[in-house]
A and B are shown apart, each in its own frame.
Chain A
Amino acid sequence: MPLTDAKARLPALAHEPADLAGDSAALHRLAAWCLRYSPFTAADGGDGLLIDATGCAHLFGGEEAMLIRIERDAAKAGFTARTGMAETLGAAHALARFAGERESRIAPPGGLRESLEGLPVEALRLDEKTVLLLRRLGLERIGALYALPRRALARRFRSKAAGEAVMRRLDQALGHEGEAVSPLHPTPAFRVSAGFAEPVTEEDFLPEIFRRLAEDLKPLLEREGEGGTRWGFRALRVDGGAASFTFRTAAPVRESGHLVRLFRERLGQPDHGFDLGPGAEHFLLSAEETAPFDAAQSAFAGRDHEKGEETARLAALADRLMARFGETRVKRQEPCPSHIPERAASVKGFSHEMRGREAGWQAARVHAPSQRPLRLLPRPEPIEVMAEVPDGPPLRFRFRKAMHQVARAEGPERITPEWWRLENGVFDEIRDYYRIEDVSGRRYWVFRAGLYEGPQAGDRVPSWFMHGFFA
């Protein structure tokens, strides 16, 4: 049901956006918390936990007592837990979720068939369509499946796979077929390491160590078609401490040469903070974030190829500048499709996706054929102007106390506010921009906010502003 529908029915309904990643993380934390019951725990789907209780139950005073203990502990931690226990994962899953209040949620040894018999077929971890068909055939309970000839039942499904899924899930639950459980914590995929017999104490060795690790990492990235955009280099020291560098690259990178250059830039900084202390014997390099490598490359031939080269060189330059001055110091203007001059470009960090910028600038030029200054004043500054009413260009103007005589002018370029924005603020008036040149040849970009006459004239007296200078 869409949220608005739900709200229409229950206006006081409290709601929050789902946080699937957060839920999953919390579930994994819970799985770790459950290590107190057993050395092996794992998250099960989006709402369950698996605990391998083999050989553990006696520590809690038996199976029943163990389940009660888990439920009680969970309640203290603020969770309502339902538990079930069986020899097979499938059966435990079913019992925990579907066993009724009065039914036993522990399958006794050898009693799987009987324990599952009365549970609904949904308990078998089947997809919705399969469950619907089974119920349509009157096969509501797992027990109803026992009596059916297996091949006959399998034939009722659209695909062989769907038919087999029913059988497999049933077999898994009954212990006729084994089932593997996935491990608890994933490890980062792109990581290489190198160990040394003697601790490394000299900083001078670091670039070479880094280079070798980068070369080891390259094939891993190549295999997956990825390039790294965030890098972590770590030294594990003999005294148990660690030193680390992390840095970003503007485009996905694999080549060790470029990385080493960046590493040297970093190391060249007086306060780089990479402290080897009494020496490090173990070094790790990982690509912590990656992106598809090919996507960043332009076409192969002709002008596009040259452009691609150019883009790559620019990215390399940016990486070095960032390594030297810090990531946040390097910016570039990005075109934004807006007629409002101060919104037509935004300043962004360099590591963003770079393609499409050229076309954006192109489009901006078509829609505003009149030239604009490269950089605008941070805020338009008021000026005093002598001009012909209603929309003549300035004849004379005073800016920062100095009077300027206008020699030449072009305009107006009329720009109306973006009416759909509710926060237009002070400058929510129509602007008429003029390019003007004073008698000493300096060129300015000024505008009048508001019109003197016509259907769009506002209530306020129009006023003039300086918005930028031409080089």
Chain B
Amino acid sequence: MTDGYAELQALSNFSFLEGGSHAEELVNQAKALGLAALGIADRNTLAGVVRAHVAAKEAGLQLIVGARLDLMEGISLVLYPEDRAAYGRLSTLLTIGKGRAEKGACHLWLEDVYQHAGGQVVIALPPPEEAAFETQLEELCRRLPEPPYLAASYLHKGDDRAYLARLADLAARTGAKLLAVNDVLYHAPARRPLADVLACIREGVKISEAGFLLEANAERHLKSPAEMARLFKGYEDALARTLEIAARCRFSLDELKYEYPDEPVPEGKTPQQHLEDLVRQGAAWRYHGKVPEKVEATLARELALIARRDYAPYFLTVHDIVEFARAENILAQGRGSAANSAVCYCLGITAVDPVEMDLLFDRFISEKRNEPPDIDVDFEHERREEVIQYIYRRYGRMRAGIAATVISYRARSAVREVGKAMGLTEDVTGALAGTVWGSWTDRMPDERVKEAGLDPADPYLRRTLELARELMGFPRHLSQHVGGFVLSRGPLCETVPIGNAAMEDRTFVEWDKDDLDALGLMKVDVLGLGMLTCIRKCFGILETQYGRKLTLADVPGDDAGVYDMICDADTIGVFQIESRAQMSMLPRLRPRTFYDLVIEVAIVRPGPIQGDMVHPYLRRRQELEDVRIEGPSPEHGDPDELRRILNRTLGVPLFQEQAMKIAIVAAEFTGDEANQLRHAMATFRRRGNIDKLRDRFVGRMIERGYPPDFAERCFNQIEGFGEYGFPESHAASFAKLVYVSAWLKHHYPAAFAAALMNAQPMGFYAPAQIVSCAKEHGVEVRPADVVHSDWDNKLEPAKRGYALRLGLRQVDGLAEEAGAALMAAREEEPFKDMRDLKDRAGISALALEKLAAADAFRALGRDRREALWEARALKREKPLPLFAHAGAAEEGERSTEEAEARAALPAMPLAEHVVADYQTLRLSLKAHPVSFLRGAFRERGVFSAAEAKAAKDGARLAVSGVVLIRQRPGGGKAIFVTLEDETGIVNCVIWASTFERYRREVMSGRILYVKGRLQSHQGVIHLVAEHIEDWSAMLGTLMAGPAQDEAKRTAPESGARHPRNVRVIPKSRDFH
């Protein structure tokens, strides 16, 4: 009856807020329906084609790659390139269109299409208003190399037969070729509700009011060849043409071949020669002229492999970028699997000596895996832009592009937008979104809905949540990747369209990292890392203040004092190991060597935690349990087969590559299966074949005699890595920075604290904790002040060594320009008074008020209140010279009046000062807010943090303090709340059942009273909560003035908020 059908007009969800299905869903459905081929053509983009390509390859379906162009003349064409050259033209065409428009838009005219029409199959889409279309179609027939196809669809509008007849006539008159399509918007009719909701989000209307913005029916899904044949009865040639196009368009993305740029190679040398020269020089530098034999051998092996695979230009390109950074004094360090390479180490790209660490090059580049190397380099986050601009300069915009990041709908955003489209009010959607601590994968648990004060049984709400879940994972828009660059030898735009970013001077390609990976294109990750900024700033202070010049490479290693500090969990500000979870691990793991730090970095991660590997490792490390390496039963092979893999970690797999190795060795995965596993984990995809892989993995290990529990845990761990993979080499690179930052903190606490605050935003803690930690290390901290402070925090000579002087950058809301103007004016001559400061620095009245509110005029003899009084009167600009004299009399009269008035202002109580300090600086050097409550606390038998620390394990006691951190890791069984008082911090654990009882107190209290049982184990102290009260109101009753109300305001009930941004006391309503 039918010869088959290929669908050639389909949108995926990369036509944002229009297409209702993932490319994978379209491909799988097309395959299931028995379509001959599928053409996905999204609006003005090729962004979704790689995903479709990968899915089509897996499914064994022919994918026709193309794009739908919405032209400025108001007509739309679908273009399918026949070959690589035509694909290049299509990609170039899109690049041209995007170059003319702001981010996300594309401006193309018919004329552009004619110029790039060679080798393209062109399908003209009839617009709803058919009147002007005939002339346009005639023009297309005349101007294109061959007449276009004319798309005809049967969409059950009632007059479809008449419509088809009209189009057939039109085709006959103009010479265009009628082509059957189904104008597909989603893979199956069940997606129509989501497509309707997408239309509502797109148009900003509620579903009940969307009316004709929605489709009348659900016919725009993929249909079987038989169904299409039935609908297009009498138009068999229109169906046959779909197969004709499928036969013509044989281009596949697999044909994109990559060629490295050759800039970094000097003339007369081959890339390989040049690389070998550089490596030789680098090795001499790393090993001070005496390169160990082992290293020589490793280098020779690596270089040989690089030569065989022709990767030298890639290494040279990365080296070139790192060299630029070095010349500009920008700290840089490679991370990830590149740290397995001795070549990278000698080139100065990575900082870990792989030979010393016993890291293996073939984990980085494998001859068998035909994947290009992947080197990620971290740069200081503040100066990364300089590196990026260098790359653009060096390779040009047509050959260098930043990868895209596909921003997808997450639980929160999906609920918010679907809820709005469904007509729920802002407070309902806000409440729903607010209860999302992490993300929910399958459906929103009823308890969460109840927590939001809503009824989970409400069918309308259910429907909304179901739709939100469907929307999750849909791409929302493209953004530029933080620093993944694609570089090429030829014009990059012939491979992938390049568009403008929202940020000026930025362009980015349409594909993300996974897409580039899937096609094997080369990329370099230029990432920003806050800790590198901090370290460089600290090095700067050491050089200017202490005259000590350091680089990452020559910080002295193996310093016992540094490890002692780490074992005490005294690690606020130290890279990676400063979080609450890491800190509670440190006293148990007790790192003493560099490799211990590598493990410390890797162990507090979803992988080892989900695999329940943490406790076994700790027990073995503390020698409470024997090291045992699991193995198969003897008849299934070498019982010691995992020894090489697990020996270093006491038989417990902790790193991602160990887990993968177990898959290959213990579960006997083939290379192909291992790749599938890697793929399934790497990307946020529909699950499905995960379960198959799990059965295979666990089943085979059990079959071979491994304990079932071990096999199960290994797979759980791999799943955990899916969210956040952590290979050993990566942990080693990070551990290097852990050590360096800990070393700086230990030896130069003042400089470290200053650098840390100058590099904000970064790290886990707020300035208040950084400052109080510095104080504990004996650092004198001085307040921010207009007379002494710079913009940055800095060191000032003190009686003993140096004191830390807070910078004006700590003043909330003060612009950097105001700070700079102030410093420049002060440089010329010290300020006489506030008026003088305002006149000479020329800062705004508002900036002046902010400084006054931050109590920064003490050195000019005015406390906060007096300064505010004075600042409020200095609004007018400097008087004109002509009136200066006339004004003098008034001025004189005024100044006596002012003096009287100032004397009449009541003095501000200390407690109010402290509250105001927290509001304007987010910290106070004067006192801790809780110290004012200590008397009242005593009466009620509350322990201080210091007293609690000294109490015995199992003791029942109560503490109270301001809430610093609320966390619910992994949406799990426990909530962690960190309280702070004037003596330190207490970590409280609230089990879920307790939490349910005290939810309101925990979520909105600023000051909590927690009574419970103390758990003290190996120096890690937790208070397990049994009873909780919200004591926030006490803060108000003990204070006077506005502080009273402001301290009393309840905290907004929100889920996870970064501890760095938590405000102990809410911002005031008048200074912001």
CB distance from A244 to the nearest CB of B (A): 40
Q: Name the A residues within 8 Å of B1042 (CB-CB).
A: 132, 135-136
Please state if A152 and B217 are interface contacts (CB–CB under 8 Å). no
> Which residues B899-921 have CB closer than 8 A to chain A?
900-901, 904-908
Q: Name the A residues within 8 Å of B430 (CB-CB).
A: 2, 4
Q: Which of B156, B196, B207, B875 has the most CB of A within 10 A?
A: B156
User: B216 touches which one: A7, A133, A156, A416 (CB < 8 A)?
Assistant: A416
A-B interface, 4 closest residue pairs, ranked by CB to CB distance from nearest:
A337-B211, A413-B158, A370-B158, A7-B453
Interface digits, B814-831 against A, CB 8 Å rule (1 contact, 0 not)? 000000000000000000
Interface flag for A114 (CB, 8 Å): no
Please state if A419 and B192 are interface contacts (CB–CB under 8 Å). yes
CB distance from B207 to the nearest CB of A (A): 5
Q: How many residues of A contact B (CB 8 A)?
A: 60
Please state if A410 and B158 are interface contacts (CB–CB under 8 Å). yes
Q: Name the A residues within 8 Å of B209 (CB-CB).
A: 337
Please state if A153 and B901 are interface contacts (CB–CB under 8 Å). yes
The segment from B488-496, B748-756, B866-874 that touches chain A is B866-874
CB distance from A372 to the nearest CB of B (A): 9
CA distance A370 to B162 in the complex (A): 10
Please state if A414 and B212 are interface contacts (CB–CB under 8 Å). no
Please state if B217 and A414 are interface contacts (CB–CB under 8 Å). yes
Please state if B158 and A435 are interface contacts (CB–CB under 8 Å). yes
Interface flag for B1016 (CB, 8 Å): no
The segment from A143-151, A193-201, A235-243, A399-407 that touches chain B is A143-151
Contacts A/B (CB < 8 Å), 15 sampled: A4-B430, A4-B431, A5-B431, A132-B1068, A138-B905, A138-B906, A140-B906, A147-B904, A337-B210, A337-B212, A369-B159, A413-B158, A414-B157, A422-B459, A430-B217
Interface flag for B193 (CB, 8 Å): yes
Q: Name the A residues within 8 Å of B58 (CB-CB).
A: none
Interface flag for A415 (CB, 8 Å): yes
Please state if B212 and A367 are interface contacts (CB–CB under 8 Å). yes
Interface flag for A272 (CB, 8 Å): no
Q: Name the A residues within 8 Å of B460 (CB-CB).
A: 422
> Which residues B154-177 have CB closer than 8 A to chain A?
156-159, 161-162
Interface flag for B1029 (CB, 8 Å): no
Interface flag for A455 (CB, 8 Å): yes
Interface flag for B103 (CB, 8 Å): no
User: A416 touches which one: B218, B227, B869 (CB < 8 A)?
Assistant: B218
Q: Name the B residues within 8 Å of A422 (CB-CB).
A: 459-460
Given contacts A149-B900, A422-B460, contact A416 B192 (CB under 8 A): yes
Please state if B427 and A144 are interface contacts (CB–CB under 8 Å). no
Interface flag for B189 (CB, 8 Å): yes
Q: Which of B157, B162, B193, B1000 has the most CB of A within 10 A?
A: B157
CA distance A31 to B412 in the complex (A): 50
> Which residues B781-813 have CB closer than 8 A to chain A?
none
Please state if B453 and A11 are interface contacts (CB–CB under 8 Å). yes
Interface flag for B898 (CB, 8 Å): yes
Q: Name the B residues within 8 Å of A157 (CB-CB).
A: 872
How many contacting A-B pairs (Cβ < 8 A)? 159
Give the residue name and chain of the B residue nearest to A138 (CB).
Answer: B906
CA distance A138 to B869 in the complex (A): 10
Give the residue name and chain of the B residue nearest to A336 (CB).
Answer: B211
User: B1053 touches which one: A8, A128, A140, A363 (CB < 8 A)?
Assistant: A8
Interface flag for B1026 (CB, 8 Å): no
Interface digits, A148-176 against B, CB 8 Å rule (1 contact, 0 not)? 11011101111000000000000000000
Q: Name the A residues within 8 Å of B898 (CB-CB).
A: 152
CA distance A148 to B903 in the complex (A): 9
CA distance A454 to B1068 in the complex (A): 62
Interface flag for B84 (CB, 8 Å): no
CB distance from B906 to the nearest CB of A (A): 4
Interface flag for B289 (CB, 8 Å): no
Interface flag for B428 (CB, 8 Å): yes
Give the residue name and chain of the B residue nearest to A7 (CB).
Answer: B453
Give the residue name and chain of the A residue nearest to B467 (CB).
Answer: A420
> Which residues B858-912 have CB closer than 8 A to chain A?
865, 868-869, 872-873, 875, 894, 897-898, 900-901, 904-908
Given contacts A337-B212, A364-B212, A368-B216, contact A5 B1053 (CB under 8 A): yes
Given contacts A420-B207, A420-B422, A422-B460, contact A137 B865 (CB under 8 A): yes
Interface flag for A180 (CB, 8 Å): no
Q: Name the B residues within 8 Å of A339 (CB-CB).
A: 212, 214, 216-217
Interface flag for B470 (CB, 8 Å): no
Interface flag for A433 (CB, 8 Å): yes
Give the residue name and chain of the B residue nearest to A456 (CB).
Answer: B189
Interface flag for A308 (CB, 8 Å): no
CA distance A398 to B905 in the complex (A): 95
Please state if A410 and B218 are interface contacts (CB–CB under 8 Å). no
Please state if B158 and A8 are interface contacts (CB–CB under 8 Å). no
Please state if B219 and A132 are interface contacts (CB–CB under 8 Å). no
Give the residue name and chain of the A residue nearest to B213 (CB).
Answer: A337
Given contacts A410-B158, A414-B216, A416-B218, contact A135 B1041 (CB under 8 A): yes
Give the residue name and chain of the B residue nearest to A419 (CB).
Answer: B193
Q: Name the A residues within 8 Å of B450 (CB-CB).
A: 11
Please state if A412 and B156 are interface contacts (CB–CB under 8 Å). yes
Please state if A156 and B873 are interface contacts (CB–CB under 8 Å). yes
Q: Name the B residues within 8 Å of A336 (CB-CB).
A: 211
Give the residue name and chain of the A residue nearest to B904 (CB).
Answer: A147
Please state if B188 and A366 are interface contacts (CB–CB under 8 Å). no
CA distance A326 to B358 in the complex (A): 97
Please state if B128 and A366 are interface contacts (CB–CB under 8 Å). yes
CA distance A391 to B46 in the complex (A): 38
Please state if A367 and B431 are interface contacts (CB–CB under 8 Å). no
Interface digits, B988-1014 against A, CB 8 Å rule (1 contact, 0 not)? 000000000000100010000000000
CB distance from A16 to the nearest CB of B (A): 16
Interface flag for B25 (CB, 8 Å): no
Please state if A454 and B865 are interface contacts (CB–CB under 8 Å). no
CB distance from A13 to the nearest CB of B (A): 9
Given contacts A149-B897, A364-B212, contact A410 B188 (CB under 8 A): no
Interface flag for B323 (CB, 8 Å): no
Give the residue name and chain of the B residue nearest to A337 (CB).
Answer: B211
Interface flag for B585 (CB, 8 Å): no
Give the residue name and chain of the A residue nearest to B916 (CB).
Answer: A136
User: B452 touches which one: A8, A136, A430, A455 (CB < 8 A)?
Assistant: A8
Q: Name the B residues within 8 Å of A102 (CB-CB).
A: none
CA distance A338 to B215 in the complex (A): 10
Given contacts A5-B1053, A420-B207, contact A410 B217 (CB under 8 A): no
Q: Name the A residues within 8 Å of B422 (CB-CB).
A: 420
Q: Name the A residues within 8 Å of B162 (CB-CB).
A: 410
User: A433 touches which one: B158, B192, B900 (CB < 8 A)?
Assistant: B158
Interface flag for B451 (CB, 8 Å): yes
User: A129 touches which one: B426, B427, B454, B1070 (CB < 8 A)?
Assistant: B1070
Please state if B158 and A152 are interface contacts (CB–CB under 8 Å). no
Interface flag for A3 (CB, 8 Å): yes
Give the residue name and chain of the B residue nearest to A128 (CB).
Answer: B1069
Q: Name the A residues within 8 Å of B900 (CB-CB).
A: 149, 152
CA distance A156 to B897 in the complex (A): 13
Give the residue name and chain of the A residue nearest to B876 (CB).
Answer: A155
Interface flag for B208 (CB, 8 Å): yes
Given contacts A363-B212, A413-B158, contact A9 B1004 (CB under 8 A): yes
Given contacts A137-B868, A137-B869, contact A151 B897 (CB under 8 A): yes
Q: Name the B residues within 8 Å of A367 (CB-CB).
A: 212, 216
Please state if A144 and B211 are interface contacts (CB–CB under 8 Å). no
> Which residues B561-584 have CB closer than 8 A to chain A?
none
A-B contact sample (19 more), CB < 8 A, given A152-B894, A370-B158: A9-B1004, A11-B453, A132-B1042, A136-B1041, A138-B906, A139-B905, A147-B904, A148-B904, A363-B211, A368-B157, A410-B161, A411-B158, A414-B157, A414-B216, A416-B218, A420-B196, A430-B217, A456-B189, A456-B218
Given contacts A367-B216, A370-B158, A410-B162, contact A140 B453 (CB under 8 A): no
CB distance from A68 to the nearest CB of B (A): 32
Please state if A3 and B427 are interface contacts (CB–CB under 8 Å). yes
